[in-house]
Amino acid sequence: MCDLLVVEDNPDVLEIVHLALEDRGYTIRQASAPEAALNVLRSTPACQIILTDIDLGAEMNGFAVVEEARRSRPDLLAVYYSGHERAPADRPLGQNERYLEKPFSRLELFSTLQELGVQPSGSPLPR
């Protein structure tokens, strides 16, 4: 089972996001590059959603990763994030997409996931 695939090329950000989601009870897969993300999507049980940085410092950005993934999973939900104040004007968001500005809080992330109907498959870690 995979609740979320997190795609982030910065290892520190990837770890922080992963730990926050895991702490909340989400089952996470992660990838640090576009091709790795696509390999995860091809080789694991279907994830509910992809959470991706827009600028991945590679030949593909987060939008391109989601477009490619949707060739086989047109219903895939997506949350994009970036240090820019808003999503690029030349790429309007669809009904199953959201945008978060970095830095975003855990509560903003959890609220966005809940808005898209993505619930954790596990239990939150005890405090």
Residue type, 2: C
Residues 6+ apart with CB under 8 A from 65: 7, 34, 37, 38, 50, 52, 56
pLDDT above 70 for 127 = no
Matching residue, tokens 């590679």: 58
Where b means 16+ CB within 10 Å and e means fewer, 85-103 reads eebeeeeeeeebbbbbeee
CATH number of 2-115: 3.40.50.2300
pLDDT at 45: 77
Q: Where are the domains of the chain?
A: 2-115
Mean pLDDT calculated for residue range 76-96: 85
Is pLDDT of 2 > 70? yes
Question: What pTM did the predictor assign?
Answer: 0.92
Residue 86's pLDDT band (cuts 50, 70, 90): low
Instruction: Give pLDDT tens digits for 11-54.
Output: 999 999 999 999 999 999 999 999 999 999 888 778 999 999 99
